Every structure is written in C-alpha cells, then in structure tokens.
Amino acid sequence: MDIKIPKLSIGEITAELPIIQGGMSVGISLSNLVSAVAKEGGIGVIGGADIGMLEPDFGKNFKKANERALRNEIRRAKQLSNGIIGVNLLMALTDINELIEVCVEEKVDAVFLGAGLPLTVPKTLIESKNTKTIVIVSSGRAVKVIFRHWERHHGRIPDAVVLEGPLAGGHLGFKYEQLNDEKYSLENLLPEVIEQVKVFEDKYGVKIPVIAAGGIYTGHDIYKFIKMGADGVQMATRFVATHECDTSEEFKQQYINAKKEDITIIKSPVGMPGRAIRNHFLQEVEKGNKTPFSCPWQCIKTCDYKTAPYCISLALTNAKKGKFSYGFAFAGANVYRINKIVSVHELMEELKTDYIKAAEDDLKNG
C-alpha cells in the first residue's frame, strides 16, 4: 500500500509534513528546536513572549531586549534551516505590536496569535506578502468573531486556524469547568471549527487550513485528526523531550519524571487556567503563600501584578534555567507518557511510521 502523509499548505507555503511544533515561550522553543523541526519538514515556531529574558538589559529595557532577542532568534533559525519558520505571540502581551513588527521585518513565514482574540493587528501584518497570520482559537464561535472582525476592519481574513483543545500545555482558552467536559474535547470542537471556517472558505474561494492541537501524542493521533478533517496538527509537549529543545536539562527531566497525578491546572496570574507539572513551588502557591516581586513593566496586559501571588514571567524564566525551587514547567496532559529524550529526527520518524501504520490498519479494517 502506498500511503502518503499529506503536506500542509498555507497559501503558497507548503510544509512537507502536516506537523507544527507549537510555540513555547520564555525560552523553550528558540532557534535550535525550531530549525531542527523545519529541517525535518515540519513548521518550527519560536515562542516570542518574554524572549528577551536572558538579555543583559531585560531588567530595565524589556521591550528593546525582547525585540532584539526575537530578531536574533529568527535570523539564527533561518541560518540553520531553509524550512518554514513561525513565531508565536500572545495577544495579551503589552509589546505585541512591536514584536509583530519584528516578525514582518524579518519576513518570518507565519505569525501565530493566541491568548486573547486576535482582532486588531498592525496594518503591516495585514498587508504583508511574506508573513501569514494564523489565529489560535478554542471554539467555532471564536472563528466567527475573529473572521467577521477581520472582514470589517482589515478587509481580509486570516490565513489558517489552530484549534487548541483542553489537553494542551500552557495557558488554556477554556473555563476551569469546561476542561473536563466532553462537550469541549478536541474531537467535539473540531467539526464545529471546520464548519465555521468553511463558511469563509466558500465566501472567499480560498483554502483556510484548520490545525488541531492539544494532547496529540502519536502518529496514530495525527492520522485520526487528519481523517476527521484537520489539515495538520500542532504538537508541543513531545518536542520538549528532544535533544534540540532550547530549555534546560532539568526542565526536560521534569517531563521524564512526571506522573499522571502530577499534572495540574493552575490559576495563572495571566487570568487564564494553565496546565503544568505540580511541584513544591506550585504547592506553596496552592497553600496561598506568595512570592513577593516588583513589576517594573507589566509584560501581560491582563496580569493583576499587585495581587498576583508570584510573577509568571520570572517563574517561567527560572524553570527555563532549571531553577525549580522558584518556578514550574508548563506541560500538556500527556506529558506523563514521556520516558526518554530523543532527537527531533527520531521523533519525526516515529510519528511518520506510526501515521502510516494507522492508515494501513484503517484501510485493512475497511
């Protein structure tokens, strides 16, 4: 049987594999991981939020430090690979517009916008011929709201949609009570998002790829969501457990050690729930203990830094550096299944083999 894994086309750009490595901010997905994924035929995505935290002037010049670090990482990723490179940015960032400008200037292939509805975005991105805009949503309703806003205010629609379901790692676009409600599973949300996107595809006569994300772990999972009508998948947790991932060895070790019962939902200072690995730091937060901090800039619009029990930016920076007494790791719901670190090449080969096996089994079973 000659089974082919479909490519993923977003407008005129085409990835050989329908696999996007989800952006992971605060230093987890940088040029090393991103270029390795792009070289393998997937789409590598730099996590752009607080990317400048290791720059020497981050403490007093955070916007400039972020812009500089983002520019450097994009350039380095492009030097290391000819593949497709994107940047993930949170709408809730106070420097979102400046960081989008860097992406447009550096001609990244795609900007992924999440954590808040990507309604108003800079004109340069709307008009860019080089940079696609991909919006991250958690419902069909969000597609309708965003696309209608874009039609009215920007005279065009976004280029692709990532549907991030409740099993994803990091901040989640759901209410706490929705996270365990079957109605909001990725499997149940995907058809409504595809249907909503189709309204706009028909209207404009263009293909708008829908990418499924959250808890996707094997090639079998990829096959399942593509069979359901997704054009590709976005995966993040599995890419953390690779040699190329830009985070510390201690961070990766947290992934290997995590058991199912260690995975928890936190109430992030950002104002959204987030999935993370429970540790002593988070247990102290749960008990109501605060880590005092000063906030010279407020990096997240929605962060109530005066009442927040800790600084999320600092906690995630500490985790990136491996200092887990002062931080914690975000992770997807399937992190407990990880038991070793592999290369991005090995991971991609495993996913491809498993995809083909799932497709063959499906054909055999009719």
Structural contact between residues 289 and 309, judged by C-beta atoms closer than 8 angstroms:
yes
Could you tell me how far CA 232 lies from the centroid of its own chain?
Answer: 14
Residue 263 within binding range of ligand FMN, rule CB under 6 A:
no
- Angle in degrees, CA 312, 314, 317, rounded to 5: 105
Q: Which segment (186-194, 283-291, 297-305, 325-333) binds ligand FMN by CB under 6 A?
A: 325-333
| Closer CB to ligand FMN, 202 or 337, in the complex | 337
| Closer CB to ligand FMN, 27 or 309, in the complex | 27
Binding string, residues 138-177; x marks residues near ligand FMN by CB under 6 A:
--------------------------x--xxxx-------
Q: Which two tokens stand for residue 227?
A: 């069979």
> From CA 71, how far away is CA 32, in angstroms rounded?
14
| Closer CB to ligand FMN, 25 or 196, in the complex | 25
Residue 216 within binding range of ligand FMN, rule CB under 6 A:
yes
Residue 331 within binding range of ligand FMN, rule CB under 6 A:
yes
H-only helix segments in 26-139 = 31-39, 62-80, 96-105, 123-127
Q: Which segment (23-31, 79-87, 185-193, 299-307) binds ligand FMN by CB under 6 A?
A: 23-31
Dihedral over Cα of 178, 183, 184, 185: its sign: positive
Strand pairing report for 210-213 and 232-235: parallel
Return the residue of 18, 83, 214, 219 that touches ligand FMN, per CB under 6 A: 214
Q: Which segment (182-190, 229-237, 256-264, 358-366) binds ligand FMN by CB under 6 A?
A: 229-237
Angle between helices 249-257 and 312-321 (to 10 degrees): 90
- Whole-number minimum distance, CB 327 to ligand FMN, in Å? 12
Residue 49 within binding range of ligand FMN, rule CB under 6 A:
yes
Binding string, residues 174-193; x marks residues near ligand FMN by CB under 6 A:
--------------------
Return the residue of 215, 232, 269, 327 that touches ligand FMN, per CB under 6 A: 215
Return the residue of 5, 15, 22, 241 that touches ligand FMN, per CB under 6 A: 22
- Whole-number minimum distance, CB 29 to ligand FMN, in Å? 8
> From CA 300, how far away is CA 302, in angstroms rounded?
6
Return the residue of 237, 254, 268, 317 that touches ligand FMN, per CB under 6 A: 237
Q: Say how many residues touch ligand FMN, by CB under 6 A.
A: 29
Return the residue of 17, 25, 125, 241 that touches ligand FMN, per CB under 6 A: 25
Strand pairing report for 132-137 and 110-114: parallel
Q: Report the site for ligand FMN in 277-316 (rule: CB under 6 A).
A: none
- Whole-number minimum distance, CB 72 to ligand FMN, in Å? 18
Structural contact between residues 225 and 212, judged by C-beta atoms closer than 8 angstroms:
yes
Structural contact between residues 85 and 134, judged by C-beta atoms closer than 8 angstroms:
no
Q: Name 84's Cβ contacts closer than 8 Å, sequence gap at least 6.
A: 13, 15, 38, 42, 43, 44, 109, 110
Return the residue of 8, 36, 161, 236 that touches ligand FMN, per CB under 6 A: 236
- Buried residues in 202-214 as b, exposed as e (16+ CB within 10 A): eeeeeebbbbbbb
| Nearest of 146, 87, 89, 90 to residue 115 by alpha carbon | 90
**Contact positions vs ligand FMN (CB under 6 A):** 22-25, 28, 47, 49, 88, 90, 114-115, 136, 164, 167-170, 213-216, 234-237, 330-332, 334
